[in-house]
Amino acid sequence: MGDMAEGWEWFKERTIEKRAKNTASSTEILVQRGIPFESKNGGSHLVVDAGSHLIDFWPSGGRWIARDLGKTNGRGVFKMLKHIAKARGEP
């Protein structure tokens, strides 16, 4: 039983580290690409300006939801960037 608890603690630590890395790298990608956003809750939630609408983005897990567009959502910063380019009429 002790080994299972140690394994679980190791897994939890790695998950926290990965989510922190995802948050930092996704935020940096948005900054580098010049995509305007507003940071909420210490960076765990970003409100991204897609031009014609706003996107709620949680960079730790990559989840995003476009506001006012029904069920337009996805996972991953690069898929969100493609959505933004399409919304802005960019190639």
| pLDDT for res 15 | 87
Only one residue has tokens 């679980």, namely: 8
84 within 8 A of 48, measured Cβ to Cβ: yes
Q: Given a cut of 60, is residue 1 above it in pLDDT? A: no
Query: Residues 24-40: pLDDT tens digits?
Result: 999 999 999 999 999 99
Of 82 and 91, more confident: 82
* SS3 label, residue 58: strand
pLDDT band at 12 (very low <50, low <70, confident <90, very high): confident
Strand boundaries in 15-77, DSSP class E = 37-40, 45-49, 54-58, 63-66, 73-75
Cα–Cα distance for residue pair 39/43, rounded to 1 Å? 5
